């Protein structure tokens, strides 16, 4: 096969269709060459903090909200309606109710297995039971813990986590990778031991580029426990978004931020990417519905079509 001729054909096709895709495409193309549309639904939680039961009915602000059994019902309903669903968690699974004090994280992880989580990342409080406990509890997970910027080589967690995972849903390749917050000053050294923290911007760029180019991912998600936004130069999801390329969406945590809707930030290529975070304690379930069409384009509705 003549690769360059094929590329050229793609290019010519691109010139021919780019202008129409997006705005008026559906009507014009209806009937004959209408492109295949595929939906992907991302469901997400962050900072659930061992809140397995709903908040007690004690008159407090969150009384009666949350609860893993109700979340299970919602997720099940959405899975019945949608073919392609990814369920993700952005860290701080542990700590916050006596469940964690007594069971060290086991029911949290087993419940996430039952709900069918596809991946999670590691939050600072997930270290609260110590790094040995992380090995024990994460060992019970049927989903991978994704973290790209913690180097666990000199710890017992070595080899127990993955930097990223690529999910293929109805042909769509979704790359998911995890980023964690700087442990120093936040987590007791005795808990994180010899875990090395690597720069999330460098690693984020590297991961996303690899997922896009080597793994040919159509959509790249960063599961982040960096926090939504800070005063000053501390790395946050906002900083990460603006200073990287090839990340399409950031599912965040740590700051317990209740975003009404995803916030758009232009990345280093000027592409509008989404950051989302849905509070804490499982009070909310985040839902993002993505529509894809066959063919390559840069991203984010900038419809540039190649067949």
Partner 1 sequence: MKKLILWLALAGLASCSPGYHLTNRTASRIGVDSVTAPANASVARFLTPYRQGLEKTMNEVLTHSTGRIEKGQPDGPLNDILTDALLQQSIQRYGKPIDCSHLNFGGIRNNLPEGNITTGSVFEVMPFDNQLVVLTLTGDMLQQLLDHFSSGNKLVVGGMRAKLQNGKAQSVTFTNGRTLQPSETYTVVTSDYIADGGDNANFLKNAIKRETLNYLMRDALIDYFRQQGKTGQPLTPTSDGRISLN
Distance (Å, whole) CA 244 – CA 236: 12
Nearer to partner 1, 198 or 285 (CB): 285
3-state SS assignment for residue 174: strand
Measured CA to CA in angstroms, residue 239 lies from 34, 228, 230, 265 at distances of 39, 9, 9, 9
User: Nearest approach, Cβ of 84 to partner 1 (angstroms)?
Assistant: 11
* Sign of the alpha-carbon dihedral angle for 246, 248, 255, 69: negative
Nearer to partner 1, 109 or 149 (CB): 109
* Sign of the alpha-carbon dihedral angle for 111, 115, 117, 120: negative
User: Nearest approach, Cβ of 221 to partner 1 (angstroms)?
Assistant: 12
Distance (Å, whole) CA 165 – CA 221: 10
Distance (Å, whole) CA 115 – CA 77: 12
User: Nearest approach, Cβ of 128 to partner 1 (angstroms)?
Assistant: 6
β-strands 172-179, 164-169 pairing: antiparallel
Nearer to partner 1, 66 or 227 (CB): 66
User: Nearest approach, Cβ of 176 to partner 1 (angstroms)?
Assistant: 16
Nearer to partner 1, 247 or 299 (CB): 299
User: Nearest approach, Cβ of 90 to partner 1 (angstroms)?
Assistant: 14
Measured CA to CA in angstroms, residue 147 lies from 51, 122, 160, 258, 291 at distances of 23, 7, 10, 23, 27
What values do phi and psi take at 276, rounded to 5?
-135, 150
Are residues 205 and 269 in contact, defined by beta-carbon separation less than 8 angstroms? no
Nearer to partner 1, 159 or 260 (CB): 260
Nearer to partner 1, 101 or 142 (CB): 101
User: Nearest approach, Cβ of 203 to partner 1 (angstroms)?
Assistant: 20
Distance (Å, whole) CA 224 – CA 275: 10
Nearer to partner 1, 198 or 306 (CB): 306
Are residues 112 and 71 in contact, defined by beta-carbon separation less than 8 angstroms? no
User: Nearest approach, Cβ of 278 to partner 1 (angstroms)?
Assistant: 6
Q: Please report where in the chains the tokens 């758009």 appear, as a residue.
A: 264
């Amino acid at each position: 096969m003549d690769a360059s001729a094929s590329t050229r054909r793609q290019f010519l096709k691109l010139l021919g269709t780019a202008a129409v895709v997006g705005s008026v495409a559906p009507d014009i193309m209806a009937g004959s060459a209408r492109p295949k549309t595929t939906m992907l639904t991302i469901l997400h939680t962050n900072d659930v903090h061992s809140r397995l039961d709903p908040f007690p009915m004690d008159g407090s602000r969150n009384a009666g909200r949350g609860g893993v059994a109700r979340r299970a019902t919602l997720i099940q309903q959405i899975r019945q309606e949608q073919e392609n669903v990814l369920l993700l968690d952005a860290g701080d699974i542990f700590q916050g109710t006596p469940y964690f004090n007594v069971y060290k994280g086991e029911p949290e992880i087993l419940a996430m297995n039952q709900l069918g989580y596809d991946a999670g990342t590691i939050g600072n409080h997930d270290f609260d039971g110590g790094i040995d406990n992380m090995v024990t509890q994460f060992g019970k997970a049927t989903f991978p813990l994704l973290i790209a910027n913690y180097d666990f080589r000199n710890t017992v967690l070595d080899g127990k986590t993955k930097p990223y995972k690529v999910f293929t849903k109805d042909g769509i390749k979704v790359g998911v990778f995890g980023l964690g917050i700087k442990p120093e000053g936040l987590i007791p050294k005795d808990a994180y031991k010899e875990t090395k923290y690597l720069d999330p911007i460098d690693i984020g760029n590297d991961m996303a580029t690899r997922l896009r180019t080597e793994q040919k991912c159509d959509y790249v998600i960063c599961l982040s426990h960096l926090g939504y936004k800070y005063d000053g130069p501390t790395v946050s999801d906002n900083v990460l978004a603006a200073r990287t390329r090839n990340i399409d969406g950031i599912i965040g945590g740590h700051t317990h931020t209740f975003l009404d809707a995803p916030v758009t930030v232009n990345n280093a290529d000027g592409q509008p990417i989404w950051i989302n975070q849905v509070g804490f304690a499982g009070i909310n379930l985040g839902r993002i519905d993505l529509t894809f069409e066959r063919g390559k384009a840069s991203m984010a509705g900038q419809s540039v079509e190649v067949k």
